[in-house]
A and B are shown apart, each in its own frame.
Chain A
Amino acid sequence: MVEQVEVRAERRGSPYRLVAAIERHPLLTRWLLAGPGALIAAMLIMAAMPVWLPAGVAGIDNIVYPIILAPLIWAVVFMYAVLEENLPRGLAVAAAVILVKGAIVALSVTGAIGGSGL
Chain B
Amino acid sequence: MIPVSQGQMKRLTTVHGWSGVVLGLLLFTVVITGTVAVFAHEIARWSAGSSSNRALDRPIDGIVRGLAETMPRFYLEDTNIWRTDAGDLMVFFHAHATNPETGEPDEYGTMFRVDPDSGAVLARDEGFMWHEQQAWEPSALRKFLVDLHVQLYMPDPWGLIVTGLLGLLMMAAAISGFLMHRHLIRDLFVAERPGARLVSARDRHVLASSWSLPFAIILAFTGSFFSFAFSVSFPIVAQVAFGGDQEAMAKTLFEAPVAEDARPVRAADLDAIRAAAIDEAGGPLTFIGIHNYGRADARVHVWHAAADGRLGFTQTVFDGADGRFLGIKPQVGNVPSIGNDLNALMWPLHVGDFAGLFSKAIWGALGATTCFVILSGLRMWVRRREAERLWRGFGRAVTVTAYGLPIGMVGSAHAFFLSLPAGDPIFWTPLGFVGGALASIALGLRAGDDGRLAQLLWRILSFGFLLLPLLRLAVGGTSWADAIAGGHGEVVSIDLLLLLAGGVMWWARNSSGSYRTAAAEPAE
Return the contact of A60 from the options B7, B15, B236, B339 (Cβ within 8 A): B339
State whether A63 and B239 are in contact (beta carbons under 8 Å apart), knowing that A58-B335, A79-B175 are contacts in the complex.
no
Residue A6 at the B interface, CB < 8 A? no
Residue A51 at the B interface, CB < 8 A? yes
CB neighbours (8 Å) of A50 from chain B are: 237, 240-241
> Which B154-189 residues have C-beta < 8 A from chain A?
167-168, 171-172, 175-176, 179
Kindly report which residue of chain A lies nearest to residue B229, judged by CB atoms.
A67
Q: How far is the CA of A46 from the CA of B15 in the complex (A)?
A: 24
Residue B358 at the A interface, CB < 8 A? no
State whether A60 and B337 are in contact (beta carbons under 8 Å apart), knowing that A47-B236, A47-B237, A75-B171 are contacts in the complex.
yes
Would you call A71 and B228 a contact (CB within 8 A)? yes
Q: How far is the CA of A75 from the CA of B339 in the complex (A)?
A: 21
Nearest CB in chain A: distance from B42 CB, A: 28
Would you call A117 and B241 a contact (CB within 8 A)? yes
Q: How large is the interface on B (under 10, 10 to 19, 20 to 34, 35 or more residues)?
A: 35 or more
* A36-69 near B? 1/0 per residue, CB < 8 Å: 0000000100111111000011111111111110
Q: How far is the CA of A74 from the CA of B221 in the complex (A)?
A: 10
CB neighbours (8 Å) of A47 from chain B are: 236-237, 240
State whether A58 and B248 are in contact (beta carbons under 8 Å apart), knowing that A43-B236, A63-B237, A108-B240 are contacts in the complex.
no
Kindly report which residue of chain A lies nearest to residue B220, judged by CB atoms.
A71
Return the contact of A117 from the options B4, B7, B248, B346 (Cβ within 8 A): B248
Chain B at the A interface: SS class: helix
State whether A61 and B337 are in contact (beta carbons under 8 Å apart), knowing that A68-B343, A85-B5 are contacts in the complex.
yes
Residue A19 at the B interface, CB < 8 A? no
CB neighbours (8 Å) of B333 from chain A are: 58-60
State whether A60 and B172 are in contact (beta carbons under 8 Å apart), knowing that A47-B237, A50-B241 are contacts in the complex.
no
Q: How far is the CA of A51 from the CA of B346 in the complex (A)?
A: 24
Would you call A118 and B245 a contact (CB within 8 A)? yes
> Which B408-439 residues have C-beta < 8 A from chain A?
none
Nearest CB in chain B: distance from A54 CB, A: 10
Return the contact of B225 from the options A56, A57, A70, A114 (Cβ within 8 A): A70
Residue B74 at the A interface, CB < 8 A? no
Chain A at the B interface: SS class: helix
Q: How far is the CA of A56 from the CA of B168 in the complex (A)?
A: 29
CB neighbours (8 Å) of B12 from chain A are: 82-83
Nearest CB in chain B: distance from A89 CB, A: 14
CB neighbours (8 Å) of B238 from chain A are: 63
> Which B474-496 residues have C-beta < 8 A from chain A?
none
* B328-360 near A? 1/0 per residue, CB < 8 Å: 001011111111101100100000000000000
* B204-226 near A? 1/0 per residue, CB < 8 Å: 00000000000000001100110
Q: How far is the CA of A30 from the CA of B169 in the complex (A)?
A: 17
Kindly report which residue of chain A lies nearest to residue B226, judged by CB atoms.
A71
Q: How far is the CA of A72 from the CA of B174 in the complex (A)?
A: 13
CB neighbours (8 Å) of A61 from chain B are: 337-339
Residue B243 at the A interface, CB < 8 A? yes
Would you call A48 and B335 a contact (CB within 8 A)? no
Would you call B242 and A118 a contact (CB within 8 A)? yes
Nearest CB in chain A: distance from B270 CB, A: 29
Return the contact of B240 from the options A48, A58, A68 (Cβ within 8 A): A48
- Give 24 pairs: A residue, B residue, CB < 8 Å, sorted on A: A46-B237, A56-B337, A57-B336, A58-B340, A59-B333, A62-B241, A63-B253, A63-B339, A64-B339, A65-B339, A65-B342, A66-B233, A68-B225, A71-B168, A71-B224, A71-B225, A71-B228, A75-B175, A78-B172, A79-B179, A83-B12, A85-B7, A116-B241, A118-B248
Which residues of A come within 8 Å of B, CB atoms?
30, 34, 43, 46-51, 56-68, 70-72, 74-75, 78-79, 82-83, 85, 105, 108-109, 111, 114-118
Cβ-closest 5 pairs across A and B: A58-B333, A117-B241, A64-B339, A58-B337, A50-B241
**Besides the contacts A58-B337, A71-B224, what 4 more A-B pairs have beta carbons closer than 8 Å?**
A58-B336, A60-B253, A111-B243, A115-B242
